[in-house]
Amino acid sequence: MSQQETDLEQLNVFDLSGFAKLITLLQEKGYTTVGPTVEEGAIVYDEIDSIEDLPIGLTDEQAGGKYELRKRNDHALFGYVVGPHSWKKFLNPAGLRLWQARRNGRSFEVLEQEAPAPSYAFIGARACELNAIAIQDRVFLKGSFVDSDYAGRRQNIFVVAVNCGQAGGTCFCDSMNAGPKAKSGYDLVLTEIKAQKRNLFVVEAGSEAGANLLHEVPHEPATEKQMARVSEVVSDAVAQMGRQLDTRDLQSLLYRNSGNGRWNEVAERCLACANCTMVCPTCFCSTVEDTTDLTGEHAERWRLWDSCFTQEFSYVHGGSVRSSISARYRQWITHKLASWVDQFGSSGCVGCGRCITWCPVGIDITEEIAALREADSGLSSILRTEEKE
């Protein structure tokens, strides 16, 4: 392969060895490379040393409350969708020590924080996930207060995105306008195509850093046929969306149905276990814990992932504001799909389907909205006929 001038607009192609080289280069530049890898029956995000660590030739079957790994009949590197982890675990860790202090007579002294987080290279981030990162950016960086820890981690990442070649059983990014093609938020984006049993990757740079790195990877310009494959691959994924969510008029649908009986129905099934919020790539709520050691000489403040499904979450003096599970489920979905828009200017859902798959009882956000819509139209038609009479 010849080294070419890489243009931001131009599509290029490399093979497995090019991809391997890309990962080595990132590591040489000091990035900790993290990406999909198999652990105890699921594809999670963890450190990967080489492409060997990727779930080669595997796929995932997903449904409400069900996830299963299966063998594919090829050796695709990215032939699956998203698993229980999301990139938020690197940008907004589940447990973070905010500061620590030592007693100093009647006062205290704040101790220096340990070394900053490593620079991560995300290998294989999907379109919905890039949108989820953009959503968390708005939460942590764009408001009146900037979260300095998030900002520090965020500015150091390098993103190698992948366009989805297939959609999962609980995916609906298409409905949320968040995939399956990556549109922004990456340094490089790959589309995995097969040619004569070879894994090929059509690659496009999305940033200068991406373009510069690509210079160092052996590649060649994509042929017209290969370029056409990119759109085919993506439209295949669109055609496979396992779920759909009708977003028309969604905000007012939710606001005018706060008293709908559907909330009690879903609450009969909902365990308030909080799995949905933990796996959601956009859910960002946390709690803060202050702790001391036995001697009282050392104190620490920790931030931990929290959830609107716990009782403590809405605890104010005298009790929990949302004591019933129905109030908590309603709060979660209404925030996610409606008040999030008022608060941050976009929906809080990217249609990744994690909350559906990882809900132990298979509660489905798309099904709940559909049911609410039906109950709502039933209600409004009753109201209309009553008005006529």
Partner 1 sequence: MAGKVEKPVPAQTSRRAAKPKLAVWKFASCDGCQLSLLDCEDELLSVAAGVEIANFPEASRAVIKGPYDLSLVEGSITTPHDAERIHQVRRASRFLVTIGACATSGGVQALRNFQDVNEFISIVYASPHHISTLKKSTPIDEHVTVDFELRGCPINKMQLVEVLSAYLNGRKPNIARHSMCIDCKRAGVSCVMVSQGTPCLGPITHSGCGALCPRYNRGCYGCFGPMENPNVPSLCERWAAMGHADVEIYRALSTFNVNAEAFRKESSLYEKAGDSE
303 vs 336 by CB, closer to ligand SF4: 336
Q: Is 258 left (phi over 0), alpha (psi -120 to 50) or beta?
A: alpha
363 binds ligand SF4 (CB under 6 A): yes
Return the structure tokens found at 281: 């790539």
By CB under 6 A, name the one of 270, 308, 369, 372 that touches ligand SF4. Answer: 270
Q: Cα dist. 320→76, 98, 285, 315, 328 in Å?
A: 49, 26, 17, 4, 11
269 is a site residue for partner 1 (CB under 8 A): yes
Residue 129: name the closest of 253, 254, 281 by CA.
281
Contact criterion met (CB below 8 Å) for 119 and 156: yes
The span of 172-180, 221-229, 291-299, 342-350 binding partner 1 (CB under 8 A) equals 291-299
Which residues is 15 bridged to in the sheet?
A: 200
Interaction partner, residue 162 (ligand SF4, partner 1, none; CB < 5-8 Å by kind) = none
Residue from 90, 201, 309, 340 binding ligand SF4 (CB under 6 A) = 309
Shortest spacing between CB 201 and ligand SF4, in angstroms:
26
Q: How far is the CB of 278 from ligand SF4 (least distance, A)?
A: 8
Q: Is 274 in the site for partner 1 (CB under 8 A)?
A: yes
* Binding partner selected for residue 83 from ligand SF4, partner 1, none, CB under the kind-specific 5 to 8 Å limit: partner 1
193 or 365: whose CB is closer to ligand SF4?
365
What minimum distance in Å lies between the beta carbon of 87 and ligand SF4?
Answer: 12
Contacts to partner 1 from residues 122-161, by CB under 8 A: none
Of the candidate residues 54, 214, 272, 369, the single one contacting ligand SF4 (CB under 6 A): 272
**Least distance in angstroms from the C-beta of 384 to ligand SF4:** 32
Give yes or no for residue 308 binding partner 1 (CB under 8 A).
no
User: Total number of residues binding partner 1 (CB under 8 A)?
Assistant: 49
Q: Are 86 and 129 in contact (CB under 8 A)?
A: yes
Q: By CB under 8 A, tell whether 273 contacts partner 1.
A: yes
Q: Minimum CB separation from partner 1 for residue 257, in Å?
A: 22
* Residue 295, binding choice from ligand SF4, partner 1, none, Cβ under 5 to 8 Å by partner class: partner 1
Question: In the β-sheet with 286-292, what is the strand arrangement from edge to edge?
Answer: 107-110, 95-104, 298-305, 286-292
Residues that bind ligand SF4 (CB under 6 A): 270-276, 279-282, 309, 336, 349-355, 359-361, 363, 365
Residues that bind partner 1 (CB under 8 A): 39-42, 44, 65-69, 83-85, 89, 94-95, 268-275, 278-279, 289-296, 304-307, 309-312, 323, 325, 357-358, 360-362
